[in-house]
């Protein structure tokens, strides 16, 4: 057997220990994987950025819509009666739900032709399409004691309100006080006040009535007109 020279053994050993080269297909595969990962991360970034912008725009649009809705709510109501015109300011900030309901009924023509069914001097004039004499008489008996009147807003004269008791027919009645009446606080929701036409309210208050406080000569609401400005 031939003896291998030491120099040849050294060269053979170096060849075995040297690093093997990376193939071209492997480089291509790794490049593609890195490119896909970068593209995925970029796509996710774009998606969440756009979503944040859309959400922010949506919040701004919603806020503007709410502001627009508030500004679209009429601030005044003009009640044309057979005795004259009564102008009222609506408390859309203090009683938004009641004001919305009143506006809805007004736009549907609910108050057109409504009679002032009860007129009680130094108390209220009451417009309604529902006959409930017992309630009016109860308020009258309690409303005669004016020794300690509260001067807060809801107790003033010429305030506009509606009954807290919901009618079975889904109606909406109107009260205009003609004196400070603290006893009515638990009976009516105040949602406005007369700013012009107090003399018309007083003229209605002075009409002749029967024993049940019903006007002998009908007094009615011709129509209700809503206004943003007067």
Give the C-alpha separation, 74 to 106, whole Å: 11
DSSP string, 169-197: T----EEEESS--GGGTTTEEEEEEEEE-
Provide Rg for the chain, Cα atoms: 40
Which residue in this structure is represented by tokens 């007109």? 225
**Cβ atoms of 74 and 197 closer than 8 Å:** no
The answer to whether the predicted template modeling score (pTM) of the entire model surpasses 0.75 is no
pLDDT greater than 80 at residue 165: no
Which of 194, 175, 227, 174 shows the shortest CA–CA distance to 84? 194
Residue 9 binned pLDDT confidence (cut-offs 50, 70, 90):
low
Tens digits of per-residue pLDDT, 33-73?
Answer: 888 888 888 888 888 877 777 676 666 555 544 554 556 78
């Amino acid at each position: 057997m031939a003896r291998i020279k030491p120099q040849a053994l050294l060269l053979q050993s170096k060849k075995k220990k040297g690093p093997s080269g990376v193939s071209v297909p492997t480089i291509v595969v790794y490049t593609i994987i890195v490119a896909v990962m970068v593209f995925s991360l970029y796509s996710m970034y774009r998606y969440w950025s756009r979503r944040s912008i859309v959400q922010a725009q949506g919040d701004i649009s919603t806020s503007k819509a709410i502001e627009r809705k508030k500004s679209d709510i009429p601030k005044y109501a003009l009640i044309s009666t057979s005795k004259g015109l009564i102008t009222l300011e609506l408390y859309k900030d203090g009683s938004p739900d009641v004001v919305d309901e009143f506006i809805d009924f007004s736009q549907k023509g609910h108050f057109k032709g409504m009679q002032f069914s009860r007129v009680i001097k130094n108390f209220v004039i009451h417009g309604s399409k529902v006959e409930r004499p017992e309630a009016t008489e109860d308020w009258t008996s309690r409303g005669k004691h004016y020794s300690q009147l509260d001067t807060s807003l809801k107790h003033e004269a010429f305030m506009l309100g509606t009954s807290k008791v919901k009618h079975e027919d889904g109606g909406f009645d109107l009260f205009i006080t003609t004196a400070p009446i603290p006893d009515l606080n638990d009976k009516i929701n105040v949602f406005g006040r007369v700013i012009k036409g107090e003399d018309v309210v007083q003229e209605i208050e002075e009409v002749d009535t029967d024993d049940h406080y019903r006007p002998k000569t009908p007094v009615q609401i011709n129509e209700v007109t809503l206004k943003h400005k007067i």
